[in-house]
Amino acid sequence: MKTATAKELRTRAAAILEQVIKGDEVIITKRGKSIAVLKPIREDFGKEFSPVGFGQWKDREDLKDISGWLAKRRKERFPR
């Protein structure tokens, strides 16, 4: 696996993404600590990935219905 610093990612994004397109995984580091991994998307990517429901929000029941959650939040912010 290759590594790149956060600064290198900002300045050489196109070259780093070309490496990812070729199939390499690139570890992004900041101040010497690994913070992210860039890797190619698998063919079955969409089957198991959900944009909501990972990390700290994975167990939140109120986020199962995103449209309802957003409508509720907007209603509270912008009364009509």
Which residue range(s) make up the domain with 3?
1-40
User: Which CATH number covers residue 19?
Assistant: 3.40.1620.10
| Predicted pLDDT of residue 19 | 92
User: Does 54 lie in the same domain as 34?
Assistant: no
User: Does 5 lie in the same domain as 32?
Assistant: yes
Task: Kindly give, in sequence order, each residue whose CB lies less than 8 Å from that of residue 52, ignoring residues fewer than 6 positions away.
Answer: 63, 66
Residue 34 belongs to a domain = yes
Instruction: Classify strands 26-30 and 33-38 as parallel, antiparallel or unpaired.
Output: antiparallel
The total number of structural domains that make up the chain: 2
- pTM (2 decimals)? 0.53
Q: Could you report the per-residue pLDDT of 16-63, keeping only the tens digit for each?
A: 999 998 989 999 999 999 999 999 887 655 566 555 555 666 677 777
User: Does 63 lie in the same domain as 34?
Assistant: no
User: Does 57 lie in the same domain as 30?
Assistant: no
| CA distance linking residue 60 with residue 27, whole number of Å | 29
